[in-house]
Structure 1
C-alpha cells in the first residue's frame, strides 16, 4: 500500500469554454478509485474552483484581479466538490474538503493540526480533496500555485510519491508541439535540467501554472525525499497503476520539517535583518539560533511568526527564518545579549530572534 498525492490542474478539468468538464472529472475519479481499490491511499490536490465559477458568473476567462478570482473560487468550489462527491460515491467512497492557507504549513500549531486532520481522514477511508483557500488568501500569503501546494502537502502527509497531472504528458527537451522534441523519461537531479528551456507559461486561459511550476514542485518534493511523476490527466490510470508513462523525478534529498521546506521554496518574506560576521558563522558553521547580539540592522515591517530574510555583512541573503519578534521591537534589542535583556526587561526577552528549528540556510 502506498500513500499517493495526486495533483490535477484546472486545464485538465475544464472545457474549452472555461466551465467544469464533468466527463473529465469523472474519468479522473474513476482512475483514483481504481487506485484505492488496489489498496493505495489517495490525497487529491485539485485546482478548478475558479474555473468552475467562471460560467455561473458569466466570465469568459480567468479574472486577473484577486477580488474577482476569490469571488469565482467562492462560487466554483462548491460545484467542484459536489461533482467529486457524486462521482466518488459511485465507487462507495466519501470525500472530504480541505482548504489550506500558507499558515497551515508554516505555523507549528496549524501544520500539526493539518497533519492530524489528514491522518484521521485517511484512517476513516475518506479521500481528502485539497485546494488553496482562494476565497480568503491574500496575494502576499499564497502558495502561488497548486503544483507547489501539492509538493508541500506530499511532505505534510508523509506521502510515498507525488503524481502531477497536466495537459502535457511529461517533460520534453523542447516545445512539445515542435517536431523533433523528445520526452525525458527520468530526471535524477539538476544536471538533467540544466540544458532545458522550461520557462514556458501555460497555454491555458484557465490555469495559472506552466512547466516551470511543475519542475519547481518536483524540486521541492524530491529534495524532501519524495519521488514525482509528471504526466497528463489522460494517463492518470496508467500512472497510478505503475505504468511507464510521463517523466519520473527521482528523490534527491531527505525529509525535513514542512515549514522549513516552505521557507526555502515557497515563502514571500516580510522583512529582513542584517547580521555581523560572527552571527553568520554561528548560523552557518555552528547551526546556532539567531540572537539579538548578532543583528546590526532591521528592515521592513513584520510581526512575530512571519518569514524574514537574514543577510550577511555583504547584504547577501544567507538564510530565511520565522521571526519571534515584531519589527518594531527589534531595534532596541540589537547588539545586546539575551541575558542582559532578560535581566532588564523580563524573561520573555530571553528568547531567540529566530530559533534554529525555524531557520533554513539558502
Structure 2
C-alpha cells in the first residue's frame, strides 16, 4: 500500500487506465446536482467536455451516470430525497428525462450522439438479458455513440432499495469488455478513515486485499442526494479488479487528469484473471437462489483443486432452489467460497447428502455442481 504520496510516477495500473481504449466512467449524483436538487449544468458540461475529449483521442467510453432521482427533486418541489418508494420512482421518472436531455444537449456541442441505456437487475441476473445488453452496447459503440447508463429507478424497486451505481458500473465494465473502470466521486481518493473527521491517511495505490486491512470505509452521505458511499465504491473496485479490470477512484473535479494522465486518486491493481462473460455472470451478476454448505474436504476440492461438487461433501442446504439455478457454496462458517449452477432441486438433495457416488442410485450419480459451471470467489 502506498500512502500519503503524490502519484507522480505512474504505476502500471495508472498506465493501463490512461491508455485504455474502452473505458467505463461512473459519476455520482453529488457530482452532477446541487444541494437543493436539480442538475448543475456547468458541472455536467465540464464532465462531458472531458469524456468527449477522450473519445476524440480514439477512446470508446461508456458513462454510468447517477442523478435521475436528484434531478427530479427541484421540478417536483421536493426539498430532499424522498424516503418512500413511490415518490422516489416519481422523482426518477421526471429526473431521468431531464438528465437524458441534458446529456444529449451537452454532447451535441461536440457532435457526439448519446444513447440512453436503462438497466434493471434482470438485465444482469438473467443470462439471456445479459447477452442482449452486451449486443446493445457493442452496436452503440460501433456507431460511435456514447452509451449513458443508469439504473431504471422508475420501475426497478430492487435498485432503489438496495442497489448503487458503483456496483452497476463494475458489472457494466465487464459486460462491455472494458480495459479500465474510473469511479468519479465527491471524494478525491480512498482514505483509511473518514477524511472529514481529520487524521485520515490518503491511499494512492491498492495492490491487493492486504492493502485494505486497515481501511474503514463508511457509507454515509453528506448531502443526502446519493445512494452510495465509499463502502460501495470500494466494493465495486474490488469486484472489477478481481475480474481483471484496473480501477481508478478519483474526484469528479479531477476528471480531466483521471482520463488523461491518470495520476490522481487511488489506483486499484488487477488481482485476478479476466473471466469469460459467462463465468463473470455466474460469479458476480447472477442472483443466487440458495446456499449449499460444504465440509472442509469439499471446500478444498472445489476451491484449490477446482473439482466438481459431489454429494459426499455436502453438510446441508438452504432455500427452495431448482435444478439450473445459481447457488452459493459456503464453508462451515457460512463464508461464500464459490457459486455455481446446481444440478438438482433442493428437494432431491436430503437423500443424497453425505453419500459417496457409488452408494447412490444410477440416476443420481452426476455432480451436484459441475466444475465447468462453478466459479471460485476470491
Compare relative contact order (CA 8 Å, sep 6+) and give the higher one, 1 or 2. 2
Common fold: TM-score over 0.5: yes
Contact 2:120–2:159 under 8 Å retained in 1: no
Deviation sequence 1:137-162 (CA, Å, 0-9, x none): 34399872111111121112111111
Give how far 1:236 is off. 1.1
Structure 1 residues 304, 79: CA separation in 2 closer, same or farther (over 3 Å shift)? farther
- 1:178 to partner: Cα distance: 4.5
Task: Give the 5 Å matches for 1:184-203.
Answer: 184-203=203-222
The DSSP-based 3-state class of the residue aligned with 1:56 is coil
After superposition, residues 114-193 of structure 1 pair within 5 angstroms as 114-139=133-158, 144-179=163-198, 181-193=200-212
CA-to-partner distance for each residue in 1:253-305, whole Å, 9 max, x for gaps? 22113565466567764322244666545423542333566555432133555
Q: Does 1:354 align with 2:373?
A: no
The answer on whether the counterparts of 2:217 and 2:230 sit within 8 Å (CA) in structure 1 is yes
Aligned equivalents of 1:96, 1:211: Cα separation in 2: 28
Matching residue of 2:65 = 46
Distance 1:305 1:16, change over 3 A: farther
Find the residue that maps to 1:272 and give its secondary structure. strand
Q: State the secondary structure of the residue aligned to 2:190.
A: coil
CA shift for structure 1 position 225: 2.1
| Shift, 1:218, TM fit | 1.2
CA contact (8 A) 1:220 1:261 kept: no
Distance 1:30 1:281, change over 3 A: closer
Structure 2 match to 1:58: 77
Query: How far, CA to CA, are the matches of 1:27 and 1:188 in structure 2?
Result: 31
Change (3 A) 1:122 1:352: farther
Q: Provide the C-alpha distance between the structure 2 equivalents of 1:227 and 1:105, rounded to a whole number of angstroms.
A: 21
- Computed over aligned residues only, the root mean square deviation of the Cα atoms, in angstroms, reads 3.2
Question: 1:1-362, aligned counterparts within 5 Å?
Answer: 2-139=21-158, 144-179=163-198, 181-258=200-277, 260-261=279-280, 269-275=288-294, 279-280=298-299, 282-290=301-309, 295=314, 297-303=316-322, 306-312=325-331, 317-328=336-347, 330-331=349-350, 353-362=368-377
Name the SS for the 1:54 alignment partner: coil
CA contact (8 A) 1:143 1:267 kept: no
What is the TM-score of this pair, normalised by structure 2? 0.81
Q: TM-score, normalised by structure 1?
A: 0.85
User: Distance in 1 between the 2:175 and 2:101 partners?
Assistant: 25
Query: Shift of the alpha carbon at 1:81?
Result: 1.0
Structure 1: gaps (5+ residues): 344-348
CA distance in 2, matches of 1:142, 1:189: 30
1:303-329 per-residue CA deviation (whole Å, 9 max, x = no partner) reads 555442224567654422244555456
Matched position secondary structure for 1:116 = helix
In 2, Cα distance between the equivalents of 1:351 and 1:73? Answer: 48
Contact kept in structure 2, 1:50 and 1:72, CA below 8 Å = yes
Given that 2:248 and 2:262 are in contact with CA atoms closer than 8 Å, whether structure 1 keeps it comes out as no
Deviates more, 1:240-249 or 1:56-65: 56-65
- Count how many residue pairs are aligned between Structure 1 and Structure 2: 357
**Which blocks of at least 5 consecutive residues in structure 2 are unaligned?**
1-19
Deviation at 1:332, TM superposition (A): 6.6
Q: For the structure 1 residues 242 and 71, does the alpha-carbon distance in structure 2 shift closer, same or farther, using more than 3 Å as the test?
A: same
State the 1:176 CA deviation: 2.4
Cα displacement string for residues 171-221 of structure 1 (whole angstroms, at most 9, x for unaligned residues)? 234432345544322222223322232234222301011111111111111
C-alpha distance in 2, partners of 1:68/1:62? 9
